[in-house]
């Protein structure tokens, strides 16, 4: 009898649970249909009654973007006309001329033609102003508008008119667009005895094959036994490419990352798919605050497994996974479907988008993070990006160098320098002379260059606040003393900050002759982050102590 009663109770309770679940499911479906009906009704009323003509596509895109904006910055709607941008993001390929462009005055100009691509092969140089594309005047056009006009189906013809060196006579160029592959690896080489260096910029379709090819080259031709993998400013990309790169160094079937989301379909474990080719090489990863997503998976997994030393500063903290879903009429939804977890079990997502205040997402404070353990028992924490094992103190910049760069003064001087010099020393040895620097100073003054110190700007704001509060009488003398001190002195700053300014100038000139690869090679000997990585690799005691070996 008791058994029957117990069975009846279980059945009754189960019925209640299932009934509750059905109710919740029906309510959710009702809410979705209700929202759709309201949205469609608003559209109908606007279309019939609004006083002016509506741009339906524009309004629809705004409505969708506003809705998604309340979730997280990675969940976005991609309309059909932006499909090429999606392909570029995931594959690293697009059709175009292979040049970096930027607005400068009335026109967009070529900042950097990439070596071996159509722009460079057809004689376009840095500093060329793009006046016409296929007969259409580009005056006043934005950088993005000109960039879109330069892109197109590989094999199609493009006709350009450019202005060089401010000359009135335009130069005409006619050539074919090509399929452009954005290189995941801009530079690699040997930077010390048996120490290799690979700069990895992103994770697209070919990243693993490119990385494997480069690593094999360094191993077979240079016999490296130590390696620096530079992930600074690498915003991530395809996770499976990061996992495949891991397999070059870790045992096959090593767990690198797992993903957990709302539905089982989004849950997945990623393990190394191949047998390693360099299982014993010592590795240092360089990361900075712009290293994100797949970069953090790669560096973080090796940290959790005590397989490499991470050097630099705390990374971005993006532990969210996006999937691409197809939508009607050729659109796509890039939607956050899961969070990823590293081998120690930690999720490094540092911003809590689900519990925002006043529409602003909150960064998780260090006091709310949790401890996890690496394979050798080292402490790592969740919700805070990847914290490096060895910190590099970020060197403070100076405002004059920044403004000389962003106002294109350095760029324009490099253009002038290259008009006078048809060749320079090899990239790693190039340096401008004292006479060259004096020419640069004269060039800066001739351009009537001016800039404002941040402290001067803040002083002006403080002065206004004091006046609003009626305390100017008590502070007037103090402001009078501070004002001349905080005014920029061009002659003084061009001398005091020569080392930094000269490095920018030299890198820009080197780029004109040896392109991006040459600029990286020129800067490496002055790179304090690389120097710190070398210091760790070349000291076995330090390397092993960090990893608790």
The closest of 211, 305, 184, 210 to 250, measured between CA atoms, is: 305
Per-residue pLDDT, 6: 52
Place of tokens 């100009």: 109
* Mean pLDDT, rounded, for 398-403: 88
Check residues 65 and 177 and name the one with the higher pLDDT: 177
Torsions phi, psi of 66, nearest 5? Answer: -65, -40
Segment holding 108, helix H or strand E: strand 107-113
Per-residue pLDDT, 10: 47
Bridge-based pairing state of the strands 371-373 and 360-363: unpaired
Surface-to-core class of residue 58, CB atoms within 10 Å of its CB (0-12 exposed, 13-18 middle, 19+ buried): exposed
Distances from the Cα of 151 to the Cα of 112, 145, 282, 334, 544, angstroms: 16, 10, 42, 23, 50
Bridge-based pairing state of the strands 226-230 and 195-200: parallel
Q: Where are the alpha helices (DSSP H) in 239-323?
A: 239-246, 294-304
pTM: 0.85
The helix-helix angle for 498-523 and 399-406 (nearest 10°) equals 60
CATH number of 185-324+336-394: 3.90.226.10
Reported as a single tens digit per residue, the pLDDT across 429-446 is 999 999 999 999 999 999
Q: Where are the alpha helices (DSSP H) in 398-471?
A: 399-406, 409-420, 434-446, 454-468
**With respect to CATH, is domain 93-181 assigned 2.30.42.10?**
yes
Tokens of 210: 């490119």
Reported as a single tens digit per residue, the pLDDT across 245-269 is 999 999 999 999 999 988 877 789 9
- Asked, colleague to colleague, whether 93-181 and 185-324+336-394 share their fold, the answer is no
Reported as a single tens digit per residue, the pLDDT across 460-476 is 787 788 778 777 777 77
The closest of 252, 112, 244, 238 to 186, measured between CA atoms, is: 112
d(CA 234, CA 298): 11
C-alpha angle with apex 463: 466 to 481, nearest 5 degrees?
115
Backbone torsion region of residue 446, taken as left when φ is above 0, otherwise alpha when ψ lies between -120 and 50, otherwise beta: alpha
Domain boundaries, the chain: 15-72, 93-181, 185-324+336-394, 399-451+488-532
Q: Does residue 8 have a pLDDT over 80?
A: no
Place of tokens 């249909």: 33
Dihedral of alpha carbons 301, 305, 309, 314, sign = positive
pLDDT band per the 50, 70, 90 thresholds, residue 122: very high
Place of tokens 């009704």: 41
For the ranges 27-41, 56-70, 313-327, 423-437, the one whose mean pLDDT is highest: 423-437
């Amino acid at each position: 009898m008791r058994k029957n009663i117990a069975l009846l109770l279980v059945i009754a309770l189960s019925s209640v649970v299932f009934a509750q679940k059905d109710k919740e499911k029906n309510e959710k479906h009702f809410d979705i249909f209700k929202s759709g009906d309201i949205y469609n009704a608003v559209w109908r009323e606007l279309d019939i009654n609004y006083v002016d003509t509506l741009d339906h596509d524009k309004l629809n895109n705004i409505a969708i973007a506003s809705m998604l904006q309340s979730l997280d910055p990675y969940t976005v709607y991609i309309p059909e006309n932006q499909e090429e941008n999606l392909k570029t993001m995931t594959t690293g390929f697009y059709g175009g001329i292979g040049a970096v462009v930027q607005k400068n005055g009335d026109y967009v100009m070529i900042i950097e033609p990439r070596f071996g691509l159509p722009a460079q092969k057809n004689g376009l140089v840095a500093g060329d102003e793009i006046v016409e594309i296929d007969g259409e005047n580009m005056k006043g056009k934005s950088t993005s508008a000109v960039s879109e006009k330069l892109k197109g189906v590989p094999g199609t013809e493009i006709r350009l008119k450019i202005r060089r060196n401010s000359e009135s006579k335009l130069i005409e160029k006619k050539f074919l667009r090509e399929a452009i592959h954005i290189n995941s690896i801009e530079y690699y080489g040997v930077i010390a005895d048996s120490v290799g260096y690979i700069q990895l910029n992103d994770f697209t379709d070919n990243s693993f094959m490119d990385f494997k090819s480069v690593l094999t080259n360094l191993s077979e031709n240079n016999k490296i036994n130590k390696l620096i993998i530079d992930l600074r400013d690498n915003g991530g990309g395809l996770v499976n490419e990061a996992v495949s790169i891991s397999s070059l160094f870790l045992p096959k079937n090593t767990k690198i990352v797992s993903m957990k989301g709302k539905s089982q379909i989004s849950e997945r474990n990623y393990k190394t798919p191949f047998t390693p080719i360099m299982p014993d090489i010592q590795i240092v990863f360089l990361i900075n605050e712009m290293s994100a997503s797949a970069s953090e998976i790669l560096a973080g997994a090796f940290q959790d497994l005590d397989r490499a030393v991470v050097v630099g500063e705390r990374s971005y903290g993006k532990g969210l996974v996006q999937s691409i879903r197809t939508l009607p009429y050729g659109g796509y939804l890039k939607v956050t479907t899961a969070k990823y977890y590293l081998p120690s079990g930690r999720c490094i997502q540092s911003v809590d988008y689900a519990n925002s205040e006043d529409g602003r997402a909150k960064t998780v404070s260090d006091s709310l993070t949790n401890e996890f353990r690496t394979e050798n028992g080292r402490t790592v924490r969740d919700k805070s990006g990847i914290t490096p094992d060895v910190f590099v103190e970020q060197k403070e910049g100076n405002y004059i160098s920044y403004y000389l760069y962003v106002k294109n003064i350095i760029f324009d001087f490099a253009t002038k320098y290259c008009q006078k010099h048809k060749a320079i020393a090899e990239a790693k040895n190039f340096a401008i002379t004292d006479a060259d620097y004096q020419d640069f100073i004269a060039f800066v003054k001739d351009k009537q260059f001016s800039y404002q110190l941040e402290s001067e700007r803040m002083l002006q704001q403080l002065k206004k606040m004091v006046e609003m509060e009626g305390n100017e009488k008590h502070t007037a003398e103090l402001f009078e003393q501070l004002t001349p001190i905080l005014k920029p002195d061009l002659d003084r700053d061009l001398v005091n900050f020569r080392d930094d300014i000269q490095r920018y100038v030299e890198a820009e000139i080197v780029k004109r002759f040896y392109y991006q690869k040459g600029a990286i090679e020129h800067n490496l000997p002055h790179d304090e982050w690389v120097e710190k990585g070398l210091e760790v690799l070349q000291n076995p005691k330090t390397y092993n102590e960090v990893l608790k070996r």
